Amino acid sequence: MSKQRTILGIVCFNHDASACIINKNKLVAFAEEERFNYDKHTSKFPLKAIEYCLNAAELKKDDITDIAFYFNMKKCLIQYLIKNNPLAILYNFEVFKRKRFFYEALWLTNFYFSVSSSIERLFDKRNVKVHFMTHHECHAWYGIYASELKNGVVLSNDSMGEGISTLGMVFNLSNSETKPKILLTQNDPHSIGYLYGAVTEFLGYKRVDGEGKVMALASFGTDKYLEYFEKNIIFKEKGGFKINKNFIIDRSFKPGKEQRLTNSFYERFGNPRDNDEELNQHHFDIAYGLQKITEKILDHQVKYLSQFSSSIILTGGVAQNSVANGILSCKYPSIKFVVPPIPHDAGCSIGAAVSLHRKLYKSLPEYTETAFLGEEFHNEEIIKILDNNKINYKVEDNIVDFMVNELSKERVIAVFRKQMEGGPRALCHRSIIADPSVKGMLDHLNKNVKYREYFRPYGGFIRSEDVTNLFDFENEHIEAPYMSFVYRVKSKWENKISSLVHVDKTCRIQIVPPNGDPMLLALLKKYNERNGIPILINTSFNVRSLPICRTPQDALNAFYGSQLDTLIFNDKIIVQK
């Protein structure tokens, strides 16, 4: 092509709204709208995220030539007509009595015009071309791009995209003419993401936000209901599966809360749990059954796909199930499993833009680490905010020694440094750090710092050379830089790092590679030398119901609104209570 295209990727009007920009063959900016409007998992048009991306890329609105949207509206319409054929009235008038017929038409119409009108208000439609990309291909191409792999298999699972809930394909980037080959597709309503979300709602939590809580609850459960879950899943050849009709209801797209589980499910398990209802063993056992059947479905898919490559990328919202990821990586020790840092829908703005770039140029953009494309605040800006708030601070040149001393005193540290992380996991740029050997630290963090449920565990960061000493890590490919895998803690370490050990004796880990962040490596090394603890707690720097802190003011609000002890800006500026 003669003219260089500048691509804006967009996700909105469902959940996890985001934006990114690819300019001059490079991904130059990415942001999630929730970090700006403080509405976690927001669905709103990413106006502030787009504004940030334009500023970060040093571009103006007029520089955007193409917009890549993360759903294909034409394919959505085709799927609607397949499921709701209007000609059916000629032989069956009952079709028009189906609620889905009306609700989905309303949903599709509103979705399309919301996207179109929002883009028209922001951009001159004459100068910008809008491309509607396919949802699971956005997940897949984001995963491929973020992985840096030249060939392998990518597996995307979430609730639904254009009627598809799963996409598995093999790719080879060595030859630009070689098209990826689809190995596995799964049609709605036979969806892991939809099933997990439906049971999450039954257990009293919000879909999209509460699945991680249910994953944690499952560890307290027994196999009491596992047989029920298993008998309602039918495994098919080539990685496919079906969900029994007496288990879930085909989605109706009804505005507001809709019933997703069948009456027979309610007859078996009773009424849904209210959010403020006390949890009991019944709820734990339901969560256990759901988690185990999810692991079995994923195992069924991976077993089939592993025939085609020894590298498998897991993406889509289901790839956030770090327990399942860890189990898969141990069961298939010769497979290199890769989970990108933003596997859920927010990453689809990058996937949409990358997919479009590939169609325009027959190649992917130059690789950029996608985990750290957020805002960065310089010391001068931070000091000005501190001065304006009349907050005392000090400057420390040897931050590693300072942090070792603080952690050794059982103090809890918040760090605000470098560019903000993208995705659901904090990676020590906007993190809370603590010593896992301190008895009661888990409860203290949940109750007094994060203000969250008592049963939720924490993850930790560790050097790659220490992993096999602490964990039953059976995969020969020792990579987990984005805290996407859970592994079993070796018995000799269970009591030593008790505040990191979940009830099932596991822990989610972020492995810092040898060429990783120098400060983190130095901190881990020195803390281990002094206290014999080679792993530290890492959790996101935020409080319950709010996204990760974006600005220094967000950091100060979280710091003074909780029982954090120390706040460190940019490995240098220290605020203490």
Tell how strand 336-338 and strand 311-315 pair up.
Answer: parallel
Residue 408 banded pLDDT, cuts 50, 70, 90: very high
Domain that holds residue 44: 6-136+348-361
Say if CB 535 and CB 500 are below 8 A apart: yes
Residue 106 banded pLDDT, cuts 50, 70, 90: confident
Q: How many domains does the chain have?
A: 2
The residue assigned the tokens 């370490």 is 493
Query: Under DSSP, is residue 260 helix (H, G, I), strand (E, B) or coil?
Result: coil
Task: Give the length of the chain.
Answer: 577
- pLDDT, mean over the chain: 93
- Residues 355 and 438 grouped into a single domain: no
What tokens appear for 55 in the block?
């500023």
Choice among 255-259, 297-301, 367-371, 379-383 with the minimum mean pLDDT? 255-259
Distance of alpha carbon 79 from alpha carbon 35, whole angstroms: 33
Per-residue pLDDT reduced to its tens digit, 30-57: 999 999 999 999 999 999 999 999 999 9
What tokens appear for 434 in the block?
């603590």
- Residues 437 and 563 grouped into a single domain: yes
List the CATH number of the domain containing 116.
3.30.420.40
Per-residue pLDDT reduced to its tens digit, 66-81: 999 999 988 887 776 7
What is the dihedral angle through the alpha carbons of 434, 436, 440, 441, rounded to the nearest 10 degrees?
Answer: 20
Residue 360 banded pLDDT, cuts 50, 70, 90: very high
* Structural domain contains residue 149: no
Tell me the one-letter amino acid at 29: A
* Structural domain contains residue 270: no
Look at residue 1 in the predicted model and tell me its pLDDT: 45
User: Measured between alpha carbons, how far apart are the two ends of the chain, in Å?
Assistant: 58
pLDDT at 102 over 80: no
Nearest Cα neighbor of 70 from 350, 432, 365 is 350
pLDDT at 534 over 50: yes
Q: Point out which residues pair with 465 in neighbouring strands.
A: none
- Residues 451 and 550 grouped into a single domain: yes
Distance of alpha carbon 543 from alpha carbon 450, whole angstroms: 5
* Structural domain contains residue 57: yes
Say if CB 348 and CB 138 are below 8 A apart: yes
List the CATH number of the domain containing 510.
3.90.870.20
The residue assigned the tokens 């896992």 is 436
pLDDT at 296 over 70: yes
- Residues 482 and 443 grouped into a single domain: yes
- Residues 355 and 479 grouped into a single domain: no
- Residues 466 and 543 grouped into a single domain: yes
- Residues 355 and 427 grouped into a single domain: no
Distance of alpha carbon 1 from alpha carbon 9, whole angstroms: 20
pLDDT at 91 over 60: no
Say if CB 136 and CB 159 are below 8 A apart: no
Which of 361, 388, 420 terminates a domain? The answer is: 361
- Residues 357 and 398 grouped into a single domain: no
- Rounded to two decimals, the pTM is 0.95
Burial 427-438 (b: 16+ CB within 10 A, else e): bbbbbbbbbbbb
Please state the rounded mean pLDDT for residues 519-533. 98
**CB neighbourhood size of 532 (10 A):** 9
Which of 361, 389, 420 terminates a domain? The answer is: 361
Per-residue pLDDT reduced to its tens digit, 363-398: 999 999 999 999 999 999 999 999 999 999 999 999
**CB neighbourhood size of 57 (10 A):** 21
58 CB contacts (<8 Å, ≥6 apart)?
none
401 CB contacts (<8 Å, ≥6 apart)?
526
pLDDT at 97 over 90: no
What tokens appear for 37 in the block?
């409007």
Per-residue pLDDT reduced to its tens digit, 308-353: 999 999 999 999 999 999 999 999 999 999 999 999 999 999 999 9
pLDDT at 83 over 80: no
Q: What stretch of H or E contains 68?
A: strand 66-69
390 CB contacts (<8 Å, ≥6 apart)?
none
- Residues 503 and 355 grouped into a single domain: no
* Structural domain contains residue 259: no
